[in-house]
Amino acid sequence: MDLIQQAERDLRWLVNCPDLLESPASLDLPDPFSEADRLDWSPVLRFHESKASYRVGYYVESLIQVWLSATPGIEQIQHGIQVRKEKVTLGELDFLFRRNGELQHLEVALKYYLYLPERTVKGSHFIGPNARDTFERKRDRLIRKQLPFGLSYDPDIHTSSHLVKGIIFYPEGVSGADEIPESLNSDHARGTWQFAGESAGSPIRFLEKPFWLDGRHRAVKETGLPLSHPCLLYREETGHHFLVPDTWPEEPAK
């Protein structure tokens, strides 16, 4: 499929996906497709020409840049701002832009977490495919560190906000969690997951990075069992679905 056609599908998926992190700092943006003539896909093309063209997070940032550029009132968009002091990198801001004249900072993310009801990792039941990551860890880092860091970057910054999209994956047959973490949107997007040993054992056709968003029309790659790392599939009947090694989460993906 043409890269721009896929990018359009993926941006529509982002727009329609509920925010994963619900807080007063969530950024509200209008539907960019109401301004279809303003859509500039050059950030996506630059991403695909880069050495990081397999990185899901960077792909999402390129789509968000398209979205911001199509939003009336937003201008002077800067992306990937390195913050340095005396040649030491202190951090990076995802986006700076002016909205109706006011300077704003934005952090963006696409996050997938698997609900593991019978145990916790680092105190969480909501664990990333890479088990070093949890919903609570990301929430706390974003709210307590990244947003305040953005506000401290420039005294003219009026607002520091976030746009976090994603999916919570539940074990097959589990409809939800008895209790969800603070700030997790209860109306989150949902998928399913299972251990590879519970599958039929046939070769697995999984989504290739960075196309982990829409998923319905992407070419897939085949791998056999046992799995060495979590694999994301798209199933017509249930949507996004993770298969994870039977040892997960004891051996986080690298």
The b/e string for 18-29 (b: 16+ C-beta within 10 A; e otherwise) is ebbbbbebebeb
Give the residue among 211, 131, 48, 200 at the shortest CA–CA distance from 221: 211
pLDDT, tens digit, for every residue of 153-180? 999 999 999 999 999 999 988 989 999 9
Q: What percent of the chain has pLDDT over 90?
A: 80
CA angle 111, 232, 125 (to 5 degrees): 50
pLDDT, tens digit, for every residue of 193-204? 999 888 776 667
Can you give the pTM of this predicted structure?
A: 0.94
In what helix (H) or strand (E) does residue 203 lie, and over which residues does it extend? none
- The pLDDT of residue 252 is above 60: no
- pLDDT at residue 254 in the model: 46
More confident of the two residues 92 and 252: 92
Under the banding of pLDDT at 50, 70 and 90, the label for residue 38 is: confident
- pLDDT at residue 1 in the model: 54
Pairing mode of beta strands 102-115, 157-171 = parallel
Torsions phi, psi for 127 (to 5 deg) = -115, 140
